[in-house]
């Protein structure tokens, strides 16, 4: 898959639309800032690592299955997408954007069960 500006824009849109439904985290705010500035997309590799080690792995150890745990996977794949858009060497998996869309869908399904699905943008 050839990553483009549109992939990064969609990743940012997904994050900002879903973030109001989860516990605020500086890691997510920083990822949005990275996605807003193409010159910073290469920083998304380190941001992925922060999200993975500080949030996702802790959720997995605690066997969390709530919206916060689900959103961590959205954020991870948004970070991978941003890095892949940077054109830097050693990109993440080519299907990171597709995984982002799947994780978004799972998150929205959980919101549906709670009757809290956000309006489309």
Cα gap 65→63, rounded to integer Å: 6
pLDDT for 35 beyond 60 = yes
Separation of CA 87 from chain center: 18
* pLDDT tens-digit map of 66-116: 999 999 999 999 999 999 999 988 889 899 999 999 999 999 999 998 777
Cα gap 27→121, rounded to integer Å: 23
As a whole number, mean pLDDT of residues 33-43 equals 97
In the prediction, which pLDDT does 54 show?
97
Would the pTM count as exceeding 0.85?
yes
Break the chain into its structural domains and give their ranges. 8-114
* CB-CB contact of 76 with 51 (8 Å): yes
């Amino acid at each position: 898959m050839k990553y483009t500006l549109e992939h990064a824009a969609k990743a940012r849109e997904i994050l900002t639309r879903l973030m109001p439904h989860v516990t605020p985290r500086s890691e997510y705010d920083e990822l949005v800032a990275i996605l807003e500035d193409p010159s910073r997309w290469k920083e998304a590799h380190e941001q992925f690592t922060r999200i993975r080690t500080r949030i996702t792995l802790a959720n997995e150890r605690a066997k969390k299955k709530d919206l916060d745990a689900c959103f961590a996977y959205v954020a991870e794949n948004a970070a991978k997408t941003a890095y892949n858009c940077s054109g830097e060497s050693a990109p993440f998996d080519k299907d990171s954007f597709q995984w982002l869309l799947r994780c978004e869908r799972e998150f929205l399904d959980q919101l549906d069960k709670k009757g809290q699905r956000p309006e489309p943008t």
